[in-house]
Structure 1
Amino acid sequence: MSTEVKASVLHGVKDLRLETRILPPLNPTDVLIKIKTTGLCGSDLHYYHHFRNGDILVREPLTLGHESAGIVTSVGSAVTHLAPGDKVALEVGQPCEQCNLCLQGRYNICQEMKFRSSAKAWPHAQGTLQEEVVHPGKWCHKLPEGVALDDGALVEPMAVAFHALQRARLEEGANVLVFGAGTVGLLCAAFSKVVSKARVVIADIQEERVRFAVGEGFADEGIVVPMKRPGTIEERLAFAKEVAGMVGGKIGPVDGTFECTGVESCLQAAIYATTPGGKVMIIGMGNPIQTLPISAASLREVDLIGVFRYANSYPKVIELLASGLRTKLPGLNRLITQRFTGIESIPKAFDMAGRVKDDDGNLVIKVLVDM
């Protein structure tokens, strides 16, 4: 029997419509999941505000959402690790599982990847801002007792941060710099402190975010980046060196930098701030063409390391959440700053997610939609 569900569908810039969708039949390896909660991500906001994400254009109506958790309501005949009633976090990327990259465990950069809510693949893989989804059981991760559905929705950005930390391979006790005090930057800072026992300084242009990061224990020190807009290349690089100097004054030589903004000046400053032999993790998705001081990196053997989503990180993050390390992490629920209830509230949720503060003057960090 076919199943009809309500779905939030983006047809153009800020043009979200509530529509009815027919779900595909359940294959033996699939599960049916009632979506309970979904966090709004920066990439979702790009699609909402511009109907594109960088150079990726939306070519058909698209349901957004990929930071989701829900309840299993039905399982295919071949699914043995899940049962109706189980809470799950959805890993929404679906790689080919056959290419060399997939076989090496690097499925996140599979060229045939279909990722829910991304317009990169054609036809687009529809996102999770709908009542129910049919999803491969392999990519549904059971949440153990004590790990709430809110945690399940946060597993996706946590997986990004955890993957970045694994790519960085920092030594214990390293000095770490994080550019960007949004959700992923805060999680990179927290994981660096807890997993790598690093000393962390976080930098952002918004003073309130920096205060939040330090006050809530995500970082040890904070830097408010000056609001400057230098013109020439020489002026921009001079500003980047100025910011790097501010970092050095706070924490000294930086062993690893997590650049989570995608802003050119931040990546420039990251290169200057990182010590010889250190690493810069490029996480933020900004302007695809940037002017960088490459000689400052190459002559000091500063490694520029790309980070794209995650691979094999969901089970490790969920295990961390269920372990004693959870008590050493800052209050993750503090990242959820605004909530909206019901599928009809999704347009308001997107409008809120694009703001710096809400009407009461509270910071906007992670907006959640409870379906």
Structure 2
Amino acid sequence: MTMTENRIVRLHGQNDLRLETQPLPAPGPGEVRVAVRAGGICGSDLHYWLEGGIGTIRVREPIILGHEAAGVIETLGTGVTGLQVGQLVAMNPSHPCGECAFCRQGLTIHCTAMKFKGSAMYLPHQQGMFRDLVVIGAGQCHPLPAGTDPGAAACAEPLAVCLHATNRGEAVAGSLAGKVVLVTGAGPIGALCVAVARQRGAAEIIVTDIQDATLAVARKMGADHAINTLTHPEGLAPWQEDKGKVDLVFECSAAAAAIQGAITCLRPRGTLVQVGVAGPTPMPLNVMVGKEILFVGSQRFDREFADAVALIGAGAIDPRPMITGTWPAEQALAAFDAARDRARSVKVHISFAGA
């Protein structure tokens, strides 16, 4: 690698992931160049690779994947203040336009022209951060204290998703402190929802999944009870008694069976925060109406990215127990293959030249 060329992990179409090189422009005004140290593989990256898209969103041109990343600032563009060369930063992949109707209403999370790193939603696609060196807006870089693990820093994006989900839930259900919380799905988002619920004072946290390996990680992240609903289908029975004993559910699987089970556990007027997404999914509306369940949708994050960085930097939430593997960039395909195997992986990282 030279200062003008860097390695990239680029998808050319379904099942066509390549490690390539490309020239790298110098940072412009208000931008910085970051040497990436760690990048996390997300479910959306896997969908792009395995299926060529997500639902109606299709990969229509080569795209560099990756929207969970942290690295060290290498070069400052003109006009950049508040950042220093050599500083570890987590990079926010979101860049709302600031001008559309939703941005003007303060709903930047719903920006109609959102530029999100590694997204194929629009043409041209927004190129992602799986590369040795990335140029990015200085405002999207959030510094962390010296000595912070870069892998932990790269988890700021999924943690921000969980903080937003928690904020959405607490907005209607009140503080999690003292509450009984159920998390369905023990992937990265589920594991981090467990960590957030613990950090915010939940009295009891139950997590469900159909993989023992992911459940073991959820326990390390703070779960009191970890139930494999495949091998122990009656495992939720104690929380289903008396119309339900769970105050709030973070539903992270988008699986109909998990949603059904969660609703049987919710007490009347309990809250279901839907974090996992899929296509059309059956839901037991009769039970939801009968119990007066509060349904709350949650998508991505907004200001929570800065909060996630602060929590990781302070050691208030440690995401490292969920990082089940780290692969060098030249083994990116092996990393993706490991990430899709839920029997052995929760969060898989790729390390780059800055590592």
Same fold (TM over 0.5): yes
In the TM superposition, what whole-angstrom CA distance separates every residue of 1:323-366 from its partner, at most 9, and x where no partner exists?
A: 3x62xx4x53221111112x211111111111134xxxxx3111
- Taking the TM superposition and a 5 Å limit, the aligned residue runs for 1:174-189 are 174-189=179-194
- Greater displacement, 277-286 / 96-105: 96-105
Q: How far apart, in 2, do the equivalents of 1:278 and 1:348 lie? A: 42
Residue 364 of structure 1: aligned partner:
345
Residue 129 of structure 2: aligned partner:
128
Q: 1:209 aligns with which of 194, 207, 214?
A: 214
C-alpha contact 2:243 2:268 (8 A) present in aligned 1:
no
Q: How far apart, in 1, do the equivalents of 2:300 and 2:206 lie? A: 23
Residue 208 of structure 1 deviates from its aligned partner by 3.2
Q: 2:261 aligns with which of 265, 269, 287?
A: 269
Q: How far apart, in 1, do the equivalents of 2:215 and 2:21 lie? A: 42
Residues 222 and 250 of structure 1, relative CA distance in 2, 3 Å threshold: farther
Counterpart residue type for residue 316 of structure 1: D
Counterpart residue type for residue 198 of structure 2: K
Residues 250 and 243 of structure 1, relative CA distance in 2, 3 Å threshold: farther
Residue 249 of structure 2: aligned partner:
257
Residue 24 of structure 1 deviates from its aligned partner by 4.4
Task: Report how many aligned residue pairs link the two structures.
Answer: 346
In the TM superposition, what whole-angstrom CA distance separates every residue of 1:215-267 from its partner, at most 9, and x where no partner exists?
A: x2520112211279xxxxxxxxxx9xx77646436995111100111112222
Residue 147 of structure 1: aligned partner:
148
Residue 320 of structure 1: aligned partner:
311
Q: How far apart, in 2, do the equivalents of 1:69 and 1:208 lie? A: 26
Residue 225 of structure 1: aligned partner:
229
C-alpha contact 1:8 1:130 (8 A) present in aligned 2:
yes
Residues 280 and 318 of structure 1, relative CA distance in 2, 3 Å threshold: same
Compare relative contact order (CA 8 Å, sep 6+) and give the higher one, 1 or 2: 2
Q: How far apart, in 1, do the equivalents of 2:218 and 2:322 lie? A: 10
Q: What percent identity do the matched residue pairs reach?
A: 34
C-alpha contact 2:254 2:281 (8 A) present in aligned 1:
no
- Taking the TM superposition and a 5 Å limit, the aligned residue runs for 1:85-164 are 85-164=86-165
Counterpart residue type for residue 342 of structure 2: V
C-alpha contact 1:156 1:314 (8 A) present in aligned 2:
yes
Residue 164 of structure 1 deviates from its aligned partner by 0.8
C-alpha contact 1:178 1:202 (8 A) present in aligned 2:
yes
Residue 233 of structure 1: aligned partner:
none
- Taking the TM superposition and a 5 Å limit, the aligned residue runs for 1:58-97 are 58-97=59-98
Gaps of 5+ in 2: none
C-alpha contact 1:89 1:152 (8 A) present in aligned 2:
yes
Residue 336 of structure 1: aligned partner:
323
C-alpha contact 1:38 1:128 (8 A) present in aligned 2:
yes
Please give the secondary structure, in 2, of the residue aligned with 1:186: helix
Q: How far apart, in 2, do the equivalents of 1:222 and 1:340 lie? A: 28
**2:341 aligned with 1:355:** yes
Counterpart residue type for residue 180 of structure 2: N
Counterpart residue type for residue 370 of structure 1: S
In the TM superposition, what whole-angstrom CA distance separates every residue of 1:278-318 from its partner, at most 9, and x where no partner exists?
A: 211111122x2122122322343312111111110122122
Q: How far apart, in 1, do the equivalents of 2:210 and 2:91 lie? A: 33
Q: 1:301 aligns with which of 277, 292, 299?
A: 292
Q: How far apart, in 1, do the equivalents of 2:121 and 2:231 lie? A: 33
C-alpha contact 1:79 1:137 (8 A) present in aligned 2:
yes
Residue 93 of structure 1 deviates from its aligned partner by 1.3
TM-score normalised to structure 2 length: 0.90
Gaps of 5+ in 1: 229-238, 358-362
Residues 61 and 54 of structure 1, relative CA distance in 2, 3 Å threshold: same
TM-score normalised to structure 1 length: 0.86
Residue 173 of structure 1 deviates from its aligned partner by 0.7
Q: 1:190 aligns with which of 175, 187, 195?
A: 195
Residue 232 of structure 1: aligned partner:
none
Please give the secondary structure, in 1, of the residue aligned with 2:64: coil
Q: How far apart, in 2, do the equivalents of 1:364 and 1:306 lie? A: 27
